[in-house]
């Protein structure tokens, strides 16, 4: 295990391996900043996490501090709530169109061809339509965020500025950061509000939603969703510290890995980004260039599970 890893992405921590990973990285004596805003109101319940990190931790309390910002600045809170409502409707309509496009694509794949080249061309056209839907949706999401930041300039308002200063003071006491899972939208919103990305120049360990938000594009997925279309959907722009990667935590529980057609489509859809499979026991160590290392577990374009071979 490299001791100079900038970012380490882990599989699920239901059976915790965090302590072993910290020791192998030579960080047993490090003071950790912990980011568990995705736990929302359970954010203070970090006893087990702190114990695993030798009780040498500072909880950055991003969820709690975000609530304080909204309470002290009702105008900003109302504007942010409206932004979230707009984006929620964007997501609903995008998902509706995406579901139809993907269903048509899967039907094309199951078609028994009389002329294979004709079917392959139709599949390629349909995949291009899906990628265009993704691209346009993410662009509009980013525009909605941009309009909110340009109009309301939260970073220049007293409530946000004070909270950012408090977070910066806490981060200055740490030598490493842990980002847990939980609600990916809440976690991503908190990280953006407090501008955490530029401060993550120390070793970072993350899993679940924490791994997802470190990438350039956050993708929600669940092939066995109990409600709504079971399709992978672009959700927003992450911190971009992990490049050319789509993080897929708990793949065995959330993906139909035996369906090669479906998995191949998922892998090809986000190319050249790699579909990183963060299953149980997985540890992926990434340097400061943000690139996946050779050997990382990924979905291949043919729908099988394999390993990343690295840049040519």
Question: What is the reported pLDDT for 116?
Answer: 86
pLDDT tens string, the chain, 312 residues long: the values are 555 679 999 999 988 899 999 999 999 999 999 999 999 999 999 999 999 999 999 999 999 999 999 999 999 999 999 999 999 999 999 999 999 999 998 889 888 888 889 989 999 999 999 999 999 999 999 999 999 999 999 999 999 999 999 999 999 999 999 999 999 999 999 999 999 999 999 999 999 999 999 999 999 998 877 665 678 999 999 999 999 999 999 999 999 999 998 999 999 999 999 999 999 999 999 999 999 999 999 999 999 999 999 764
Q: Exposed/middle/buried for 243, CB within 10 Å: 0-12, 13-18, 19+?
A: middle
Query: What is the C-alpha separation between 48 and 66, in angstroms, rounded?
Result: 23
Query: What is the C-alpha separation between 233 and 137, in angstroms, rounded?
Result: 10
Rounded to two decimals, the pTM is: 0.94
Query: What is the C-alpha separation between 235 and 48, in angstroms, rounded?
Result: 30
Question: What is the reported pLDDT for 4?
Answer: 65
Question: What is the reported pLDDT for 122?
Answer: 92
Nearest CA among 309, 23, 20, 31 for reference residue 178: 31
Nearest CA among 241, 281, 201, 221 for reference residue 14: 281
């Amino acid at each position: 295990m490299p001791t100079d890893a900038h970012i380490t992405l882990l599989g699920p921590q239901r059976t915790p391996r965090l302590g072993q990973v910290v020791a192998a990285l030579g960080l047993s004596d490090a003071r950790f900043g912990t980011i568990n805003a995705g736990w929302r109101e359970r954010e203070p319940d970090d006893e087990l996490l702190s114990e695993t990190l030798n009780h040498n931790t500072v909880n950055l309390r991003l969820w709690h501090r975000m609530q304080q910002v909204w309470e002290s600045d009702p105008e900003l809170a109302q504007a942010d709530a409206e932004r979230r409502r707009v984006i929620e409707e964007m997501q609903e309509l995008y998902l509706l169109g995406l579901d139809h496009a993907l269903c048509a694509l899967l039907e094309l794949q199951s078609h028994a061809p009389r002329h294979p080249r004709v079917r392959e061309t139709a599949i390629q056209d349909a995949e291009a339509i899906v990628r265009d839907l993704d691209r346009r949706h993410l662009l509009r999401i980013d525009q909605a965020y941009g309009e909110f930041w340009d109009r309301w300039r939260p970073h220049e308002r007293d409530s946000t500025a004070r909270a950012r200063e408090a977070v910066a003071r806490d981060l200055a006491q740490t030598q490493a950061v842990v980002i847990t899972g939980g609600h990916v939208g809440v976690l991503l919103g908190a990280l953006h509000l407090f501008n955490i990305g530029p401060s993550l120049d120390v070793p970072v360990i993350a899993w679940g939603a924490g791994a997802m938000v470190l990438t350039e594009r956050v993708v929600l997925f669940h092939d066995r969703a109990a409600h709504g279309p079971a399709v992978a959907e672009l959700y927003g722009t992450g911190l971009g510290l992990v490049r050319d990667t789509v993080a897929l935590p708990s793949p065995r529980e959330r993906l139909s890995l035996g369906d090669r057609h479906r998995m191949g489509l998922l892998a090809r859809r986000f190319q050249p980004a790699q579909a990183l499979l963060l299953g149980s026991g997985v540890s992926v160590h990434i340097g400061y260039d943000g690139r996946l290392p050779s050997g990382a577990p990924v979905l291949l374009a043919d729908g099988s599970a394999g390993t990343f071979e690295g840049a040519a």
